[in-house]
Structure 1
């Protein structure tokens, strides 16, 4: 038995995997650094990085060893390829059966030439046809067991080498987001320094010294609007936008969650009350915990169900309180809430009171329906049962991201 070598190459050997990965990293940096200044300053970073991850991820090969098949045909084999024990004449060819093994795979065939950080010095020789790895044996001795044993060994080598490469690629793929963020941040920081935009507008929200302790949050209070440059291209140049500091946003959400849980513990006290009355109770707890700007009023009412935190006439936080009225009503509430927001990095919350006996099914509907909204960008976290945090965007501009929290509370008597 011998191999019939056609257009073969040593599997997982020709290209250095480290060089392939480094080349991909350079492409990521070139992509970011090749964008226009205005694009980097205004693009939604999370969305752009997600695009880079999907673009530069190298999907590992999948070798389907369980789908191995074999075909056979008679070919004329040159005398020079016969074992020495065969009596043949130089320059002549003799008919022999050639067994061709077909090993299906999924992925880029070029990866079959990439050498992993762990590799074999005796790489099996293969060829590729479509989405099949091909290797062949000439049957000189009709020994089926020997053929099967060598074929199994060849497949095992290929699967093992692919596993090594898969580990390398998986590690690289897992690092793309961090690499992209680092390059993006460095580029944007350089642009901001160049434009002398190192400080953003600030709304000085601080912890009040005489806040009640009922729903107090132990975390240290910090100014709500910190120096976060949020440049927007305008006719006159760049304009930094104010943004509610994320730590303050999370503290607001912690307080609203604590208040909602208090409602759940005393359903007979709060169930059935109008949304406006429930909203006023939230305001009663929120207002003493924070100090506002020169106006003296931190949180404002709007309509019957809204809680607003404003700066320079625009909303940087909007909370909407509603009773659960089904999927459509829930999605309409999100749409209404987003219509109040215009600045990038705005913060928002939808607080839902569920009078239904069955609470779990409502939570399932919330999880499923949220992703169907046209402004939905992505899921962030689930801090508690019934508390979800998502990424949305303002109407008409995917680059202006909104952090949206949804908190659902069971108010069934």
Structure 2
């Protein structure tokens, strides 16, 4: 197909997510490899988005493609009621990297349904209904999860009455724009935990099934929790008999330099949800890792849930090979090395040269650059949920990056920098140089 035909058929037949259909013009992509993708004109872009933060091992990784081909030749599909080697091996491998006692995996097709089933597990086991989540969070777009999400994308669904969760939201820690007037990370931790406990008490602990938290907040700012916050949440959950669900859909599988993001903070949840990086999105896959007591609750009673394609052998085979690649190619070590030698110091130097950078933050290869009009007042470059002319400065910055061959993600007043974990030092350095040049071109 030509580029023109792709554009025409896309325009006339494809309905795109999260978009006003007549206001978008999706860029047709002809090919991708490693840390780059290429359009039909031959222009190549450094993928600093990992698409939707899922191509952790890059595009067209030969070992993942080969694993997919081998599985397709052997057993292309089988219903979840049967056992198969790919699903069993991946569950075993995930249990090996999970905290002690988390030995069972329920497979899903992606992150939203993983979170939905984690909540269902918590509700079934506790006999409670409510779920607590942060305002700055995103947990998926299914009927339950869009309501649980604090992300403003829930507003449209709420107007249509299409949210099915009994959820309550709270303020998580965000020192740069603290809801608690904190001046230090220690104050932010203490005040955010007190705020959360107040909510628990006022809602009634005996009504709350779970607290779900992204270990590092993703779409809503790449917010790294301050020291002590996640251990404090763990303690509150233990005190009040509430399940702690760690949403690792973005932060998991190496994105922060550890298998799971929560490992950076010395905690262990009751349920872990995952997707995206488990197999770099080559075939849709997600799941819930659970403690043995959750599995045992259903030893002699049926679990009320399931999916036609859960644990699909093609997806699981790529997941098995992905975990081999992580280990044999030293991916976690590579991420930690690039963070310390390239990403963190590179962004620090960039911030020195550009007054428009209010803050940069992140872990591993999971970073945000927050843009401001004034460093002293911290006025955002564009308002929260900006539309129309209001969002023009960020649109211009994104366009400047694209023109120079860099594809980050622009969200509100932030650029998110989340390249594949296999990116080379040269590519990462080149991407940061392009960002520096684009910021200069936009007068930031």
Short-chain TM bin:
under 0.3
**More strand by percentage:** 1
Which protein is richer in helix relative to its size?
2
Q: Max radius of gyration: which structure? A: 1
Structure with the larger RCO, 1 or 2 (CA within 8 Å, 6+ apart): 2
